[in-house]
Amino acid sequence: MSTPLTNGTPESLDVLVVGAGFSGLHQLRLYRKLGYNFRVFEAGSDIGGTWYWNHYPGARVDSPVPVYEFSEESLWKDWTWTEKYPGWQELRSYFRYVDEKLDLKKDITFNTRIASAEWKDSEDRWEVKTDNGLVVHPRFLVLATGALTVPYTPAFKGLERFEGVKHHTARWPEEGVDVKGKRVAVVGTGASGVQVIQEVGPEAAHLTVFQRTPNICLPMRQGKLDVASQTMKKKRGLYNAIYRRRPQTTGGLVHSDFPTEYFSLTAEARILRLEEVWEIGGFVAGSPFPDVLTNQEANDATYGFWRDRVRERLRDPKVQEKLAPTLPPHPFFTRRPSLEQNYYEVFNQHNVELVDLNESPIAEFTAKGIVTGDGQEHEFDVIVLATGFDAVTGAMTNIDVRGMGGKSISEAWKDGVYTNLGMTVSEFPNMFFTYGPQAPTALSNGPSCVEPQSEWIAECIHYMEQNKLTRIEATREAQEAWRDMSLGIQDKTLLGKARGWWNGANIPGKAVETLSFPGGMPFYLQTCKEKAEKGYEGFVLSSKST
**Residues contributing to the site for ligand NAP (CB under 6 A):** 60-62, 148, 154, 169, 187-193, 195, 212-213, 336, 357, 362, 386-389, 500-501, 506
Q: Nearest Cα to 192, choosing from 470, 16, 31, 388?
A: 388
- Ranges assigned E (strand) in 133-271: 135-143, 165-168, 183-187, 206-211, 218-219
Report in angstroms how near the CB of residue 466 gets to ligand NAP at its nearest.
38
Question: Comparing C-alpha atoms, which of 340, 381, 93, 23 is closest to residue 31?
Answer: 23
Q: How far is the CB of 170 from ligand NAP (least distance, A)?
A: 7
| Shortest distance (Å) from residue 370 CB to ligand NAP | 10
* Alpha-carbon span 429 to 437, nearest angstrom: 17
How far is it, in rounded angstroms, from Cα 367 to Cα 161?
A: 5
Judged by beta carbon, residue 212 or residue 368, the one nearer ligand NAP is 212
Contact predicate 64/58, CB 8 Å: no
Q: Can you tell me the distance from the alpha carbon of 313 to that of 332, in angstroms, rounded to the nearest whole number?
A: 19
CB of 52 to ligand NAP, least distance (A): 14
Least Cβ distance, residue 270 to ligand NAP (angstroms): 28
HEC assignment per residue over 513-541: CCCCCCCCHHHHHHHHHHHHHCCCCCEEE
Q: Which is nearer to ligand NAP, 147 or 460 (CB)?
A: 147
Minimum Å gap between C-beta 41 and ligand NAP is 23
Residue 387 or 493: the one with the smaller Cβ distance to ligand NAP is: 387
The kind and range of the H/E element at 191 are helix 191-200
Minimum distance from residue 136 beta carbon to ligand NAP (Å): 31
| Nearest-approach distance from CB 501 to ligand NAP, in angstroms | 4
Of 193 and 251, the one with the shorter C-beta distance to ligand NAP is 193
> Is 193 or 219 the residue whose CB approaches ligand NAP more closely?
193
Least distance to ligand NAP, CB of residue 284, Å: 16
70: phi then psi, degrees, rounded to nearest 5? -65, 140
Q: Which is nearer to ligand NAP, 373 or 416 (CB)?
A: 373
Interhelix angle 227-235/238-245, rounded to 10 degrees, is: 80
Count Cα neighbours of 480 within 13 Å in the Cβ-side half-sphere. Answer: 3
The H-or-E segment that residue 462 falls in is helix 446-466
Q: Which residue is nearest to ligand NAP (CB)?
A: 190
* Residue among 23 and 506 whose Cβ is closer to ligand NAP: 506
Please identify, using beta-carbon distances, which residue of 30 and 218 lies nearer to ligand NAP.
218
Query: Considering beta carbons, is residue 47 or 339 the nearer one to ligand NAP?
Result: 339
Q: Which is nearer to ligand NAP, 109 or 372 (CB)?
A: 372
Element (H, E) at 130: strand 125-130
Q: Are 495 and 334 in contact (CB under 8 A)?
A: yes
Positive/negative CA dihedral, 288, 293, 296, 302:
positive
CA 469 – CA 460 distance, rounded (Å):
11
Distance from C-alpha of 489 to C-alpha of 203, rounded to nearest angstrom: 45
Nearer to ligand NAP, 387 or 448 (CB): 387
Q: Cβ closer to ligand NAP: 10 or 325?
A: 325
Kindly state the smallest distance separating residue 375's Cβ from ligand NAP, in Å.
18
Q: Is 150 helix (H, G, I), strand (E, B) or coil?
A: coil
Q: Compare residues 134 and 209 and give the one whose CB is closer to ligand NAP.
A: 209
Distance (Å, rounded) from C-alpha 303 to C-alpha 352? 26
Backbone angles phi, psi at 239, to 5 degrees: -65, -40
> Could you give the 3-state DSSP secondary structure of residue 503?
helix
Indicate the residue among 70 and 389 with the shorter CB distance to ligand NAP: 389
| Separation CA 467–CA 457 (nearest Å) | 15
The distance of closest approach from Cβ of residue 166 to ligand NAP in the complex, given in angstroms and rounded to an integer, is 15
- In the complex, least distance from residue 147 CB atom to ligand NAP, rounded to whole angstroms: 8
- Rounded CA-CA distance 2/14 in Å is 12
Q: How far is the CB of 173 from ligand NAP (least distance, A)?
A: 17
290 neighbors 520 (Cβ within 8 angstroms): no
Least CB distance from residue 369 to ligand NAP, whole Å?
A: 15
- For residue 85, what is the DSSP state? S
In this structure, how many other beta carbons lie within 10 angstroms of the beta carbon of residue 231?
A: 12
